[in-house]
Amino acid sequence: MRFRVFHRTRYLYRSPVRDSYNEVRLRPATDDKSRLEFFLLKTHPPVRLQHFRDNWFNYVHFFDLPEPHSSLTIEAQSTINTTSPYLDGKPLGVTFTTLKTDLDDMAQPFLGSSKYVDLSPEVWRLGIDIREDRNDVFEVAEAVMHHIFREWSYAPNTTHAGTHMNEVMQTKCGVCQDFAHVMIGICRSLCIPTRYVSGYLYNGPDSHLRGAQASHAWCEIHLPGKGWFGLDPTNDTLADERHIKIATGRDYHDAAPVLGHFDGPPGATSALQVELEVRRMNG
């Protein structure tokens, strides 16, 4: 499917701030499943943009804004062509045994705790309960996804960008970012390499999938010899061609669309406006 994405984030400051440094991950990822045809990133006030590839091969654009400014707009436009990784059906047949023996080095970082993910005993116990006696890794991952969808309630404004997974385990409510963290935690405690995916979700002209009002998040598990496969616990669905991948990492912190800091008077907090449009195109 081809999509045109328009994503504008605007930070408004009560009084002018200065020395802002920001890293943004807004360039859709390209791999054998998706092709980026057009991408344009710009800011207001205008800055000089530069980029690097981070540890996880994400494109990171960064910029300095030393002059005082009372708002910052970051606007990304892209045209992307996606295909579903599930065209050949579900990647069944990988057992927990092969998971251990054939583990890829590159999957190693996605097995332990990270900034927002904690492999606590509660998570581990929950993982065991969900797995029951199943031995197929993908089936188990799906079961984890179903479980989260069933037991957690989708409740915007109950959490914030910096909410830790442990808190979500208690409250059992949150948004996609939180569900992704919980799923990552459970899967990792079962020794399934799992990573966080930041991206966009095409909502369709009339469907009501969650997560299309802001940028979306889900997770991907790694199956030796088969690659990464996405699961979206927020919508209880496999991440197919409607899921447009931007960045991946251990958790939100690695893949967040915008991370930045600035000098301003204490509490000179900002207002945030997000405008997101994902349109399906011909061809």
Partner 1 sequence: MSSLFNDYQPGSFFDEMFSAPDSARSHYAGITGSIGTLSPAEYAARQRTADTVFLRQGVTFTVYGDDQGTERIFPFDLMPRIIPHKEWERVESGLIQRITALNLFLNDVYHEQKIITDGIVPRELVESASHFRPEFKGVKVPHGIYIHICGTDLVRDGKGEYFVLEDNGRCPSGASYMLENRNAMKRTFPGLLQSLPVRPVDAYGSMLRETLAHLAPLSVIDPNIVVLTPGVFNSAYFEHCYLAKQMGVPIVEGRDLVLKNDRIFMRTAKGLQQVHVIYRRIDDDFLDPLVFRKDSLLGVPGLVKAYQSGHVALANSIGTGVADDKAVYALVPKMIKYYLDQDPILPNVTTYLGVDPKECEYILANLPNLVVKAVNESGGYGMLMGPHSTKEEQTEFAERIRANPRNYIAQPVLQLSRHPVFQGDHFEGRHIDLRPYVLYGDRIQVVPGGLTRVALKKGSLVVNSSQGGGSKDTWVLWDDE
Partner 2 sequence: MLSRVADSIYWMARYMERAENLSRLLLSTQDLLLDAGEEAADESQFWGPILMTTGDEERYDKVHTTIEGELVALFLALRTDNPNSILNCVRAARENARTVRDQISDELWECINGLRLFLESPEAAALHQNQRAAFYEKVLVASYQFQGIAASTTPRDESWHFLRLGLCLERADKTTRLIDTCSAISLDMPPNPLARPLRWAALLRSSSAWHAFQAYSSNKLNPVDIVEYLLPNDTFPRSFAWCIEAMHTALIALCGNGRLEEMKVPVRLLGRLRADIAYITMDEVLKEGLHEFIDRLQSKLNDIGASILQTFVLYGDSAPVIGEASFLAYHPKVEANMQIQQ
The site for partner 2 (CB under 8 A) is made up of 9, 11-12, 20, 22, 156, 159-162, 175-177, 180, 198, 210-211, 213-217, 252, 256-262, 269-274
Contact partner, 40, from partner 2, partner 1, none, Cβ < 5-8 Å per class: partner 1
Whether 283 and 82 have beta carbons less than 8 Å apart is answered as no
Going through the chain in order, the beta strands assigned E by DSSP cover 2-24, 34-44, 50-53, 59-65, 69-82, 153-154, 173-174, 194-201, 216-223, 227-232, 237-238, 243-249, 258-263, 270-281
- Interatomic CA distance for residues 260 and 49, integer angstroms: 14
Contact between 246 and 30 under an 8 Å Cβ cutoff? The reply is: no
44 lies in the site for partner 1, by CB under 8 A: yes
Task: Phi first, then psi: give them for residue 259, nearest 5 degrees.
Answer: -130, 125
Q: Which does 225 bind (CB under 5 to 8 A by kind): partner 2, partner 1, none?
A: none
- Of partner 1, partner 2, none, which one does residue 46 interact with (CB within 5 to 8 Å by kind)? partner 1
Measured between alpha carbons, how far is 12 from 24 in angstroms, rounded to an integer? 17
Residue 70 in contact with partner 1, rule: CB under 8 A: no
Instruction: Tell the smallest beta-carbon distance from residue 39 to partner 1 (Å).
Output: 8
Site stretch for partner 1 (CB under 8 A), options 40-48, 81-89, 173-181, 253-261: 40-48
DSSP string, 61-122: EEEEE-S-EEEEEEEEEEEEEE--TTTT------BHHHHHHT--GGGGGGSS-BTTB---HH
Tell me the HSE value of 118 on the side-chain side, using a 13 A CA sphere.
Answer: 11
Using rule CB under 8 A, residue 271 touches partner 1:
no
| Residue 236 touching partner 1 (CB under 8 A) | no
Contact partners, residue 202, CB within 8 Å, separation at least 6: 1, 3, 212, 242, 243, 244, 278, 280
CB of 161 to partner 2, least distance (A): 4
Pick between residue 104 and residue 277 the one whose CB is nearest to partner 1.
Answer: 277
**Which of residues 39 and 124 has its CB atom nearest to partner 1 in the complex?**
39
> Which CB, 134 or 253, lies closer to partner 2?
253
51 vs 30, 64, 120, 193, 232, CA distance in Å?
16, 12, 36, 28, 29
Residue 238 binding target from partner 1, partner 2, none, CB below 5 to 8 Å by type: none
Residue 265 engages partner 1 in binding (rule: CB under 8 A): no
Interface residue with partner 1 among 46, 112, 204, 265 (CB under 8 A) is 46
79 binds partner 1 (CB under 8 A): yes
Q: Is 139 in the site for partner 1 (CB under 8 A)?
A: no
How many residues bind partner 1, per CB under 8 A?
Answer: 22
* Least distance to partner 2, CB of residue 102, Å: 31
What does the binding site for partner 1 look like in residue numbers (CB under 8 A)?
6, 37-42, 44-51, 61, 67, 77, 79, 281-283
